[in-house]
Copies of this chain bind each other. A is one copy, B any other.
Amino acid sequence: MRFPKPSEAELRILHVLWDQGPSAVRDVLAKLEKTTGVGYTTILKLLQIMLEKGLVERDESSHRHVYSAKLAREDAEERFVDDLVESVFNGSKKRLVLQILEDAKSSQKELEEIRRTILEFEKGAVR
């Protein structure tokens, strides 16, 4: 089954859930209010919408509901990459890779890191 693509604000919340694990609204707010300045009920509403969409699930055993990501980080990453390849690079993953390399060309350090990353991967290293 295909899950809906998270919006920007939803993605910010998912990052918190991925990093911190199951969290109440207040826990999510704690991480996001400094950077986004967003209010409590905004997070709450978003989590409720995400629940409807199936992006998160919640534990209602306590009055203080606890939300956890139902969409795995890797699945989300793959989905976003696939969508990008489709909409921007005409379905060619090769062209995306080329663009990344082309993009990093200006920075010797960055290019070197990518080269190292690929080498590690070829040796069978996982992340």
Q: How far is the CB of A101 from chain B (nearest CB, A)?
A: 5
Complex contact A93–B101 (CB within 8 A): no
Chain B's nearest CB lies how many Å from the CB of A46?
Answer: 15
A42 within 8 A of B: no
Q: Which of A25-33, A51-59, A114-122 lies at the binding interface?
A: A114-122
Place the interface of chain A in its size category: 35 or more
Number of copies of this kind of chain in the complex: 2
Interface residues of A (CB under 8 A from B): 8, 11, 15, 74, 76-78, 80-82, 84, 87-90, 93-104, 110, 113-115, 117-118, 121-122, 127
Assembled-state Cα–Cα distance A15/B87 (Å): 9
